[in-house]
Amino acid sequence: MSTDVAVQEREDQDVGVGDYQFGFHDSTDNYVFKSRRGLDREIVYQISELKKEPKWMRDFRISSLETFFEKPMPHWGGDLEEIDFQNIFYYMKAAANLEKSWEDVPDDIRKTYDRLGIPEAEKKYLAGVKAQYESEVIYGSLQEDLEKQGVIFTDTDSALRDHPDLFREYFGKIIPANDNKFAALNSAVWSGGSFIYVPPGVKIDFPLQAYFRINSENMGQFERTLIIVDEGASAHYVEGCTAPTYSSDSLHSAVVEIVVKRGGRFRYTTIQNWSNNVFNLVTKRAMAYGDSLMEWVDGNLGSKLTMKYPAIYLMEPGARGETLSIAFANNGQHQDAGAKMVHCAPNTSSRVVSKSISKGSGRASYRGLVKVEKGATNCKSNVVCDALILDSKSRSDTYPYIEAEDDQISIEHEASVSKIGEEQLFYLMSRGMTEAEASAMIVTGFIEPLVKELPMEYAVEMNRLIELQMEGSVG
Amino acid sequence: MSAILKICDLRVAVDGKPILKGVNLEIRQGEIHALMGPNGCGKSTLAYVVAGHPKYEITGGSIELDGINVLELDPCQRARLGIFLAFQYPVTIPGVKVSDFLRHAVSNVRNPDRKEGEGLIPMKDFRKELKDRMSEIDIDSEFARRYLNDGFSGGEKKRMEILQLSLLRPRFAILDETDSGLDSDAVRAVSEGINKLHGPHMGVLIITHHERLLEFNKPSFTHVMLAGKIVETGDASLAHDLHANGYAAVRERHPTEAAEQEAVTVKA
């Protein structure tokens, strides 16, 4: 089932959304290590050697690499033909050591973070800030009382070294390397990412944050995140991503694995704003056990192509899953995003709210799967997709898939497509708004139900991104 | 010297079909004018055209505010120049909070040179002013946090228009059937609001079918429109007469326009 919509309304306007990027970048001369371009066993060995990893991880990487080579390119979603895997740097290290205090972070890196507002984030939240700069976490701090409670919040490489048993128990278990071609690629060359463990009953009431950023031309970024929320524990993790503009293509392919045990609650919030040459191909999956709640809040701006369908496997009765997603596709951009809900047990429920905006030649697709396994009776699922189309060139599609092997279930799907109404624009303009301001206000209102779920500073940033993307785009 | 909004031989078409066929009207700051006429005679069209709705084609005539050619300006510039339209059917803007919308509107209208992204009026001052204005026209301050017109009743929407009028303090306000669909208490509330706002610095054009709003806001001039023209102008007693006796007498005095009007009404 698919609905293609191209609405003729206002004459096209020629300025791109996604014209907004943090269009600055640092010199890459200060890298401690930079691999050669391309991908083969030698590169993978080299990465593992440099990281001084145990044998099992090296073997895992090598076998994942084989899987990656074996698996064909997906031919659905978006156009992936342009990715040249042999023209990418798979590993780069920007600073030698993991830094603990802000003052110790090298100058040019700090300058980059300053422009992204990291110090403010650090001040406002006393949570640990993990900033991934290229392939290694270079800066991190963790509030003392969290450490006392047994919370682990570190980069994934350190976790492998410092918490080997816990790490090995879950790593690659939620998303096996052979899940898909890009999960295999990540498994072979992963570097950095966050590792979080929240012990039973521990409730963290402020968001744990990470900032990601691709900085070097043709550098793939393959972070790997693993989060375990133990029984009755709760936490919220927030990541925001921005990338500078470059002329040739970059690849971002992350894997995020999450386990939420019985009675736990976890929310994973992402705002991504990749520059419009980045392929953003991410596999995210959570397993939610009895009476737990897992939520994905996912904001996708920028990139050339994003393919991302955060999944929740509802493993035991009473598990709930929720995905809220916003996609903004500007000129030349394709956002193929959505959600996957798999009901593996009776009395589980899921909800998906998806809002997409397309502008210029941008294309936003919702692709979602609701799957109910046999015996998973009395499940409920509700999916709502709203698309806003800003001009006659932009496009919106909806691909909702439902696979139900049980019939005592309730699945609802609603979809709507609208365009910015002439009457709404006129109303706002007659109150002194410029056309761009009026459009931005309408778009901001459209995504407000999701933005209000974001931590304050991210909500402000999100609205600012929307305003910048609408600026100069009309009139 | 008070400003003048001057409409001269204004001709307007929609999809090639003439709607206004030579409207002449002059409003000075401080004056209240009433515009009456049967359905489809062009009253709302005139309101929209003054505010700058893009769907109307101007085929002749002019609109000037103190010598400035209003027709060359977009709706945003007109608002900043001091023209305000209270909508008959205000639209809903989901997700946009009343207070955010009003703060943007006030910032733009009070600082006409403001560019997108430039500073808004200070939050503290604005909040206080908003609270005061809301209590004056009896709107619960809770509305500031609601989404613009989303789920508002007819009366609430109309009050929201009057709230905007009171915050934006235009030089010329057009009230397009602000009294329609309201019960008498609501009409009274809205009328009182207008009364408080009206003064030597605001010219008002009240478009109405009824007399109720005019009882509270007595017009200095009453105009009657038929088939896209103002066919008669009188004082408040004309409004009273129309209300009491209907448009039959007017039709008799202007048979040509009455026939044209009849054709439009039947077709509609």
**Averaged pLDDT for residues A450-471:** 76
B264: its two tokens? 């439009």
Closest-CA residue of B relative to A448 is: B95
CA angle A397, A403, A404 (to 5 degrees): 140
Angle (CA) B94-B97-B103 rounded to 5° is 130
Q: Which residue type sits at B105? A: A
More confident residue, A404 or A133: A404
B224 CA: distance to closest CA in chain A (Å) = 26
Domain count, chain B: 1
Q: Is residue B119 part of a domain?
A: no
Best mutation target, A15, A353, A428, A465, to test chain B (most B CBs within 10 A): A428
Q: How far is A263 from chain B (nearest CA, A)?
A: 33
Predicted confidence band of residue A5 (pLDDT cuts 50, 70, 90): very low
* Mean pLDDT computed over A3-25: 35
Instruction: Note whether A442 contacts B96, CB cutoff 8 Å.
Output: yes
Give the pTM: 0.79
Of residues A23 and A394, more confidently modeled: A394
Give yes or no for a contact between B94 and A447, defined as CB atoms under 8 angstroms apart. Answer: no
Q: Which residue of A has its CA nearest to B98?
A: A445
Least confident span in A1-10, A66-75, A230-239, A412-421: A1-10
Q: Which of A20, A430, A434 would best serve as a mutation to test chain B binding (most B beta carbons within 10 A)?
A: A430
- Indicate yes or no: CB of A448 within 8 angstroms of CB of B75: no
CA dist B213 → A142, B47, B185 (Å)? 65, 17, 11
Q: Is the pLDDT of residue A20 over 50?
A: no
Inter-chain CB proximity B104 and A433 less than 8 Å: yes
Residue predicted with more confidence, A383 or A453: A383
Span A137-169, pLDDT tens digits: 444 455 677 888 999 988 899 899 999 999 999
The lowest-confidence range among A31-45, A329-343, A429-443, B28-42 is: A31-45
Flag whether B103 is in a domain: no
**Are A444 and B96 inside 8 Å of each other by CB?**
yes
Q: What is the C-alpha separation between B55 and B44, in angstroms, rounded?
A: 13
A465 to chain B: nearest residue by CA? B117
Dihedral in degrees, nearest 10, Cα atoms A190, A101, A166, A315? -70
Q: Which residue has the higher pLDDT, A274 or A282?
A: A282
Is there a domain that residue B135 lies in? no
- A445 and B96: CB-CB below 8 Å? yes
Cα pseudo-dihedral B114, B119, B121, B123, rounded to 10: 160
8 Å CB contact of A448 and B94: yes
**pLDDT band at residue A97 using 50, 70 and 90 as cut-offs:** very low
> In the predicted model, is pLDDT for residue A218 greater than 50?
no
Are A427 and B87 a contacting pair at CB < 8 A? yes
**Under 8 Å between Cβ of A399 and A430:** no
Report pLDDT for A110. Answer: 57
Domain membership flag for residue B144: no
Task: Judge: A442–B87 Cβ closer than 8 Å, yes or no.
Answer: no
pLDDT digits (tens, 9 = 90+) for B17-41: 999 999 999 999 999 999 999 888 9
DSSP annotation string for A368-397: EEEEE-TT--SEEEEEEEEEEE-STT-EEE
What pLDDT was estimated at residue B189? Answer: 78
The answer to whether the Cβ–Cβ distance between A429 and B168 falls below 8 Å is: no
Q: Which of A421, A431, A435 sits opposite B105 (nearest CB)?
A: A431
Residue A115 has pLDDT above 60, yes or no: no
Q: Which residues of A touch B88 (CB under 8 A)?
A: none
What pLDDT does residue A438 have? Answer: 93
Which of B78, B80, B96 lies at the smallest CB-CB distance from A441? Answer: B96
pLDDT recorded at residue A1: 36
Which range is most confident: A254-258, A433-437, B177-181? A254-258
Residue B121 lies in a domain: no
Query: Does residue B231 form part of some domain?
Result: yes
The pLDDT of residue B116: 79
Question: CATH number for the domain including B234?
Answer: 3.40.50.300
Distance CA A355, CA A164 (A): 40
Range of the domain at B62: 4-91+171-267
CB A197 within 8 Å of CB A166: yes
CA distance A435 to chain B (A): 8
Which of B93, B157, B166 has the most A C-beta neighbours within 10 Å, making it the best mutation to test the interface with A? Answer: B93
Chain B residues touching A418 at Cβ < 8 A: none
As a whole number of angstroms, the distance between CA A396 and CA A417 comes to: 8
Q: Quote ipTM for the complex.
A: 0.96
Amino acid at A296: W
pLDDT at A33: 66
Which one has a higher pLDDT value, A29 or A408? A408
Give residue-wise pLDDT tens across range A287-304: 999 999 999 999 988 889
The confidence score (pLDDT) of residue B161 equals 95
The confidence score (pLDDT) of residue B268 equals: 52
* B153 domain residue, yes or no: no
- What are the φ and ψ backbone dihedral angles of B245, each rounded to 5 degrees? -115, 0
Q: Among A129-138, A280-289, A402-411, name the one with the lowest average pLDDT.
A: A129-138
Residues of chain B neighbouring A449 (CB-CB closer than 8 A): 95
Give the pLDDT score at A166. Answer: 97
Q: Report the candidate in A326, A463, A295 with the shortest Cα–Cα distance to residue A388.
A: A326
Going by C-alpha positions, the residue among B55, B102, B56, B50 that lies closest to residue B73 is B50
A88 touches A38 (CB < 8 A): yes
With respect to residue B261, please indicate whether it lies within any of the assigned structural domains: yes
Place of tokens 């042999």: A86
Q: Rounded to the nearest 10 degrees, what angle do helices B98-110 and A435-451 cross at?
A: 160
Average pLDDT across each block of 10 residues of chain B; the chain has 268 residues. List them in order.
92 94 96 92 96 96 96 97 96 94 96 87 94 90 95 91 95 92 79 82 90 84 95 91 87 91 72
Least confident of A111-115, A297-301, A456-460: A111-115
Round to whole Å and give the CA distance between A343 and B27: 68
Asked if A314 and A352 count as a contact pair (C-beta separation under 8 A), the reply is: no
